[in-house]
Amino acid sequence: MEKSIPIHPSVRLERADGTTRSGIWLVALGAALWGMDPLFRILLLKHLTSAQIVLFEHLLLLVYAVPVLWLNHKELRGLAVRHVLALLFISWGGSAIATIIFTSAFAYGNPNAVLLLQKLQPLFAILMARLLLKEKLPALFPLLLVMALAGTYLLTFGWSIPAGLSEIAAVSGLLSIGAAALWGGSTVMGRLLLNKMQFETVTALRFACALPLLFMTTWLEGDKVRLPGGTFDWLAVSGNLLLQAAFPGLLSLLLYYRGLAGTKASYATLAELLFPAVGVLINWLVFQQTVTFVQIAGFLLIWFMLFSLSRQR
C-alpha cells in the first residue's frame, strides 16, 4: 500500500488516494493562463528585454509577496535544508536559469529540435517524483503519458517530422534538455514545499527569492530600458506589464500551487501540457494563425488525458 505524503493542514482536502478531484484541473488552469503570455509580451518586447520584463514583473509582484510573507512568517521557521534547496530550485532554476538557457538554445541550433526536446519535461518530473517523493504510478499511467506526449507533438509539429534532429547532441540540444529538466524538477520541488507550507507562501517565496538573480542577470545583460515615447505608449506598456504580472504571473501560480498541493507531481506535470494547447488556441483567435485538424486532434488528446487523470484512483 502506498504511503501517503503529509500536506499542510490548510490544504488537507484530499481523497483517500492523497489527491483532490479538482487538483488536476487547477494545475491545468494555471498552465492555461501561462498560454496568455504572448498577448502581453509582444508589445513589451518592443521596449524591454525578456530579462527586464521578468524583473519588472517580479518587482510588481512584491505587492503580493511582502504582505503574505509578513503574515505567514511563522511558516518559515524550522525549514530543513531540503526545503531551502527546493525553494532555490524553483525560484532560481525554474524561473530564471531555465528561461535563460532555453532562450540561448535557439541561438545555437534548430528551433524545431529545441522544441521537440521540451517534450521530455514530464519524463524528468516523473522520475524525480518517484525518487524524491516516492510516488507510485497507477497501471494506466504509461498509456496516459504516451497520450499526453502524442497530443503535444501533434500540436507542435502535426504529422511532419522536424528537421535538425542531429542537433540533439549539440550545444542547443544540451541546453534544451537542461531547461526541460529544470522545469520538470520545479514541479517536484514545489510539491515538496507544499508539504511544509501553504500554497500562498510558496508563491510569494518564489517571487521574492528570484529577485537577486534577476537583478544580477539584468545588470550583466547591460541593455538599457527603451522608454516609450508618448502618453499612450506609456499607458500601453504599463497596462500590459500589470496584466502580465496579474494573470500569467500571480493568478496562474496561485492556481497552480493550490492544485499541486493536492495532486501528485507526476500527474501535475502532464496537466501542465495544457499550456501549448492554449498557446495554439490564442494564436488562432488573436493572431489569425490557421489551426489544422491534426492540431485539434492533439488538443482533444490532451483534454481526454486530463479527464482520465482526474478520475484516477
- Is the pLDDT at 136 greater than 70? The verdict is yes
For the chain, what is the radius of gyration of the CA atoms? 19
Q: What is the mean pLDDT of residues 138-155?
A: 80
- Is the pLDDT at 39 greater than 60? The verdict is yes
Instruction: Write down the pTM of the prediction.
Output: 0.80
- Is the pLDDT at 3 greater than 50? The verdict is no
pLDDT-based confidence at residue 5 (cuts at 50, 70, 90):
very low
Listing DSSP states for 262-275 in one string gives TS-HHHHHHHTTHH
Residue carrying the nine cell digits 532554476 = 93
pLDDT-based confidence at residue 7 (cuts at 50, 70, 90):
very low
Pick the range with the lowest mean pLDDT from 31-35, 170-174, 266-270, 296-300.
Answer: 170-174
- Mean pLDDT over each residue of the chain, to the nearest integer: 80
Pick the range with the lowest mean pLDDT from 8-12, 182-186, 291-295, 297-301.
Answer: 8-12
pLDDT-based confidence at residue 107 (cuts at 50, 70, 90):
low
Q: What is the mean pLDDT of residues 11-20?
A: 46
- Is the pLDDT at 114 greater than 70? The verdict is no
Q: Which helix (H) or strand (E) holds 297?
A: helix 293-310
Q: Which pLDDT score, from 0 to 100, does residue 20 have?
A: 65
More confident residue, 297 or 224: 297
Cβ atoms of residues 255 and 24 within 8 Å: no
CB under 8 A, 24+ apart: contacts of 212-218: 213/91, 213/92, 213/96, 213/97, 214/51, 214/54, 214/55, 214/58, 214/96, 215/55, 217/51, 217/55, 217/96, 217/100, 218/49, 218/51, 218/52, 218/55
Summarised one tens digit per residue, pLDDT across range 236-289 is 888 999 998 999 889 999 999 999 998 989 889 888 888 777 877 777 778 777
Q: What is the mean pLDDT of residues 21-41?
A: 85
Q: How far is the C-alpha of 193 from the C-alpha of 20, rounded, in Å?
A: 17
Which residue, among 131, 126, 129, has the nearest Cα to 145 in the 3D structure?
A: 126
